[in-house]
Amino acid sequence: MGIKKTYLTWLSPFSWVLALRHFLYDRGIFTSWSFDVPVICVGNLAVGGTGKTPMTEFLVERLLEKGRNPIVLSRGYGRKTRGFRYVTLSDTASDVGDEPLQIKRRFCRAVVAVCEDRVRGVRRLLADHPQDPWIILDDAFQHRRIRAEKNILMTDCSRPFWKDTLLPLGRLRDLPSAVRRADCVVLTRCKPKMPFSGIIKPVADIPVFSTMMSYGDLIPLNDPEIMPEKGSSVLLLTGIAYASPLRDYLQTQYKVECHLEFSDHHRFTAKDLSRIKQLLGKHPNWHLITTAKDDARLTGSGIAGWVIPLRISFFSEESAAGFFHLVTGLR
């Protein structure tokens, strides 16, 4: 981080509060809890999406393939409930949050729970599931009450943390120096065929992995009648942090006639749903395409369309295997 970025960081009113908080945890004045089971933390330093949920899904999928028992614990951002709660397929995003519901829908066999008190949540999970649990904490890098066995720090390749500064002057919600607690850094949304290479000064002693976003085959939403063919007209509906890469990808496959872009975690209102239905009714040749995260908030809408899966992909299986071994010890 250059002198200018350092200066801007310490101009932020949050910097001194964060520095004091980290000092108190580092010196043991504030208590951090550890557990005798694998606990993997997936997080970032910035507000907005950096691929934390796709990374959580990557870990769940690989652990299931190895015959392990992954358990995801999230605070359940955006839910209207409080306290500890297991995520079930009959829940709504208002019950448990859109991302935990998204994970549960994809991995029905995996245990997914929400709790704003992560220590209490882990203790409950270990009491209920004592057989070989592998705890994955989604979006918990700032949650220092738990001392994870491995910390994965996600950062967007287009705006990495070392080129950013604290809120409100930038997008960081924690000090850049917090990277020292990470066991590895994962760069997301790297351009295809252009993985990162080189040494980043702030993380010179920490392994860095490059990844990109990939997209799976379309999944039906509420029984659509016709599968969109290549070049078909589509209505793209998103309520995620960074929708432009998805829009750019879909433009290579279809004709994106309209993009209804809402803020991250947007709760669709009756007015929003009415607008979507009107657009589809006015243009019957348009196909609705949305994300799994948005699908979790469209439950009960009755709107037919297609869900496009978003996945995190490494540039080689060797890189993916190396990363997985680093954070789990498994091969």
Task: Sort 310 into a burial class: Cβ within 10 Å, 0-12 / 13-18 / 19+.
Answer: buried
Please give the torsion angle defined by the CA atoms of residues 177, 171, 142 and 38, in that order, rounded to the nearest 10 degrees: -90
Distances (CA, A) of 281 to 84, 244, 273: 41, 25, 12
Domains and CATH numbers, the chain: 26-213+313-328 (3.40.50.300), 217-308 (3.40.50)
Q: 256: which strand partners?
A: 234
Tokens of 106: 């994809």
Give the pairing type, strands 111-114 and 85-86.
antiparallel
Spatial contact of 89 and 105, defined as CB atoms under 8 Å apart = yes
Q: 232: which strand partners?
A: none
- pLDDT of amino acid 6: 58
- pLDDT of amino acid 31: 95
The alpha carbon dihedral of 60, 77, 307, 50 has a sign of: negative
Phi, psi of 267 (to 5 degrees): -90, 110
Question: Would you say how long the chain is, in residues?
Answer: 331
Phi, psi of 79 (to 5 degrees): -75, 160
User: Among residues 130, 145, 136, which one has the least CA distance to residue 114?
Assistant: 136
- pLDDT of amino acid 258: 97
- pLDDT of amino acid 10: 63
- pLDDT of amino acid 225: 85
Residue 114 CA to residue 135 CA, distance in Å, equals 12
Spatial contact of 84 and 114, defined as CB atoms under 8 Å apart = yes
> From its phi and psi, is residue 273 left (phi > 0), alpha (psi between -120 and 50) or beta?
alpha
Residue 212 CA to residue 150 CA, distance in Å, equals 22
pLDDT tens digits in sequence order for the chain, 331 residues long: 554 555 566 667 788 899 999 999 999 999 999 999 999 999 999 987 889 999 999 999 999 999 999 999 999 999 999 999 999 999 999 999 999 999 999 999 999 999 999 999 999 999 999 999 999 999 999 999 999 999 999 999 888 898 888 888 888 999 988 999 999 999 999 987 665 655 455 566 899 999 999 999 999 999 998 999 999 999 999 999 889 999 999 999 999 999 999 999 999 999 999 999 999 999 999 999 999 999 999 988 999 999 999 999 999 999 999 999 999 999 8
